[in-house]
Amino acid sequence: MLYLAIVSFIWAFSFGLIGSTLSGVDPFFVATVRLGCATLLFLPFFRPKLIWGINSFRLFTYGAIQFGLMYVCYMKSYQYLPSHLVALFSIMTPVYVVLINDFRKRQFTYSHLLAAVLSVCGAATIKAKGMPSGDIWLGFILMQIAGLSFAFGQIAYRDWKQSHASINHTAVFSMLTFGGTVFAWASSLFFADQASLAINANQWQSIFYLGFFASGLGFFLWNKGAVLCNPGTLAAFNNAVVPLALFFSLFIFGEVGVLSAGDLSRLAIGGVLIASAVFVASYKRDFIV
């Protein structure tokens, strides 16, 4: 759980950084550069002989789905949704993690599903706002594809790594991020806004920080942590970033003035529910059918 907790803090800080410095930069360009930086970070450790053939293709595909497809759908959804609904529609990812894992294992784990549901309820308590009128269904579908993509990649890599325990994570991780980079780059050819590619020095610093640290180190530690914990804990931690991100946005990036007593109550209740989900997933015995 330590790796997942560390990454949750890293990603929580990244939300505020993106909102404060990169709001006007083309998101597909940012996704491509971030994943490209992550690939460069682990490229010196890459050992292609260890995954020659089908394993190389599998890892490339897992990365294209978990990182590339996820980023593309996530970024595209902002054309159809306000930001708080993008956040709200992302909270089903823990359930997808549990269901994908159980489907692949041909089993049903009650305690893991309970942890996922608690995590979703906690995130919903924190994030939920009033539902606006208008056509939001395309944005909703895009966010569910993003959640499914990220969930599938976590579980697929977890299963692959557990069956190849002798191979070090660092020796193969650049293949995953390379798959994501290629997918994001190909998507940017269709969706990138050339008018928003004028980037100043501060924005480049933010992009490189996000690429090497949040995406590179963050995705690496997240997938490593996914291998070491059970699927229920992994599912619960997929929403642990929610209260942390809100805390950083409010108190580090200066949005504290927008808080009301009701906001504080939702943050506290949601945080307790997510912490309970992690406890249930890591403590309860699995009830499998």
Token duo for residue 168 = 């070090």
Distances (CA, A) of 78 to 66, 85, 101, 139: 19, 9, 29, 7
Q: What pLDDT score does 184 carry?
A: 95
User: Mean pLDDT over residues 162-186, rounded?
Assistant: 95
Token duo for residue 13 = 């800080």
pLDDT tens digits, 34-78: 999 999 999 999 999 999 889 999 999 999 999 999 988 887 787
Length of the chain: 289
CA distance 29 to 50: 31
| pLDDT at residue 287 tops 50 | no
Phi-psi region of 199 (alpha: psi -120 to 50; beta: other; left: phi over 0): beta
Domain extent, residue 223, equals 2-283
Is 24 part of a structural domain of the chain?
A: yes
Provide DSSP, 232-263: HHHHHHTTTHHHHHHHHHHHTSS-GGG--HHH
Place of tokens 């100043």: 200
CA distance 16 to 38: 20
Name which of 62, 13, 31 is nearest 160 in CA terms.
Answer: 62
Is 116 part of a structural domain of the chain?
A: yes
Burial 126-135 (b: 16+ CB within 10 A, else e): bbeeeeeeee
Is 288 part of a structural domain of the chain?
A: no
Residue 224: pLDDT band with limits 50, 70, 90: very high
CA distance 117 to 95: 7
CA distance 74 to 30: 12
Say if residues 244 and 12 touch (Cβ distance below 8 Å): yes
Is 153 part of a structural domain of the chain?
A: yes
Arithmetic mean of pLDDT over the chain: 82
End-to-end Cα spacing for the chain: 25
Q: What pLDDT score does 172 carry?
A: 95
| pLDDT at residue 286 tops 80 | no
Highest mean pLDDT among 16-20, 98-102, 111-115, 136-140: 98-102
Number of domains in the chain: 1
The DSSP call for residue 157 is H
Give 107's contacts (C-beta < 8 A, 6+ positions apart): 288, 289
Instruction: Give the bridge partners for 288, in sequence order.
Output: 109
Is the whole-model pTM more than 0.85? no
CA distance 134 to 187: 27
Is 289 part of a structural domain of the chain?
A: no
The DSSP call for residue 91 is T
Token duo for residue 216 = 């590179």
pLDDT tens digits, 109-168: 777 778 778 878 877 787 665 555 556 778 888 888 999 999 999 999 999 999 999 999
Which has more pLDDT, 182 or 203?
Answer: 182
* pLDDT above 90 as % of the chain: 37
User: Mean pLDDT over residues 91-104, rounded?
Assistant: 86
Say if residues 37 and 212 touch (Cβ distance below 8 Å): yes
